[in-house]
Chains A and B, each alone.
Chain A
Amino acid sequence: DAKTTQPPSMDCAEGRAANLPCNHSTISGNEYVYWYRQIHSQGPQYIIHGLKNNETNEMASLIITEDRKSSTLILPHATLRDTAVYYCIVRSGGSQGNLIFGKGTKLSVKP
């Protein structure tokens, strides 16, 4: 699975959009981009995933560049409860294997 690069930390004001970037320049054609988050002392929570089209669900939007070498997770209206470590993971779409977690981005939402 391709490696990802994320900034170690970001701050965001409550109520504003949080845009979390991820670089995955070695992604291959059959690999999806997954986003998970981990709130302190809890298990990871699935947020969203995509292949090449932009995706949106009730939690977030995922914007993938046309060359698929990077993506951005957007939390449209961040709340204090969105403070967490966000992990961007690239994996084969048909894979049933484990997820490989990097260091992620620590997002701090501030009042």
Chain B
Amino acid sequence: GAVVSQHPSWVICKSGTSVKIECRSLDFQATTMFWYRQFPKQSLMLMATSNEGSKATYEQGVEKDKFLINHASLTLSTLTVTSAHPEDSSFYICSASGNRPGEQYFGPGTRLTVT
């Protein structure tokens, strides 16, 4: 199956700093990428949807100025957590859809810890 990578796999940062997470589709062109967040013992919650070359669509309650998403190419999307706070500590997971209807592939996730 198709492969999606994320970098870094884990990151620790200080409160107030910004962190960028990359999501890449390695062997297919991702027309749409999704960013999810997962808190301990909870399910995945969609944060935003991004289409290549256009602005991301954020879910209700997700601050677009805090979670900056860029989808500049068909193989790369980035999520930047700006002015991170301890409550932003979570497991961030991206997924990507290609041209085949219904297919969606997930990255391995990025564990963010804000101290």
Contacts and interface: CB of A to CB of B under 8 A. Distances in A.
B15 interface: no
A98 to B, nearest CB: 5
A96 B31 contact: yes
Given A41-B91, A46-B1, A102-B43, A96 B106 contact: no
Contacts, number: 57
Contacts of B105: 46
Contacts of B107: 43
A91 B93 contact: no
A43 B96 CA distance: 12
Given A32-B102, A93-B101, A96-B97, A42 B44 contact: no
Interface string A46-88: 1001000000000000000000000000000000000000010
Interface residues of B, number: 25
Interface residues of A, number: 25
Instruction: Give chain A's interface secondary structure class.
Output: loop
Nearest to B91: A41
28 contacts: A34-B102, A41-B111, A43-B93, A43-B95, A43-B106, A43-B108, A43-B109, A44-B93, A44-B95, A46-B1, A46-B104, A46-B105, A49-B102, A91-B102, A93-B101, A93-B102, A94-B101, A94-B102, A95-B101, A96-B102, A99-B34, A99-B104, A100-B46, A101-B36, A101-B44, A101-B45, A103-B43, A104-B43
Interface of B: 1, 4, 6, 31-32, 34, 36, 43-46, 49, 91, 93, 95, 97, 101-102, 104-109, 111
**A-B residue pairs, 5 tightest by C-beta:** A43-B106, A94-B101, A101-B44, A101-B43, A44-B106
Interface of A: 32, 34, 36, 38, 41-46, 49, 87, 91, 93-104
